[in-house]
């Protein structure tokens, strides 16, 4: 009964919510890093404070590319599953 009735109804909402949270967590990680939590946001914050704008621009482009990659991937997964 669970495999035939409950899971098909539950799957689309669960997968959609999980992919949304993954996307949100990646975006929040960059912001949290800028206030001191570490990761790429911390490296970006250090580059900006040291006036290394070319390196900061590369960091921003990396974050942008990562967000685009995750957005594209989650859209394809949603398209397949939903």
DSSP per residue, 27-45: HHHHHHIIIII-THHHHHH
Categorize the per-residue pLDDT at 16 as very low, low, confident or very high, splitting at 50, 70 and 90.
confident
31 CA to centre of own chain: 11
Residue 50 pLDDT more than 90? yes
The predicted pLDDT at position 49 comes to 92
The predicted pLDDT at position 68 comes to 92
Asked if 62 contacts 70 with a C-beta cutoff of 8 angstroms, the reply is no
For residue 1, how many C-alpha atoms fall within 13 Å in the half-sphere facing its CB? 0
Q: Which residues contact 35 (CB under 8 A, 6 or more apart)?
A: 41, 45
The predicted pLDDT at position 65 comes to 92
Asked if 41 contacts 29 with a C-beta cutoff of 8 angstroms, the reply is yes
- The alpha-helical segments, DSSP class H, found in 1-82 are 7-32, 40-49, 53-81
Average pLDDT for 12-24 = 88
The model carries a pTM of: 0.74
């Amino acid at each position: 009964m669970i495999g035939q009735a409950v899971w098909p109804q539950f799957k689309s909402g669960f997968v959609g919510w999980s992919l949304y949270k993954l996307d949100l967590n990646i975006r929040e990680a960059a912001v949290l890093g800028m206030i001191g939590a570490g990761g790429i946001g911390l490296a970006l914050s250090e580059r900006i404070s040291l006036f290394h704008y070319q390196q900061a621009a590369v960091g921003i482009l990396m974050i942008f590319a990562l967000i685009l990659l995750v957005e594209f991937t989650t859209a394809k997964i949603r398209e397949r599953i939903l």
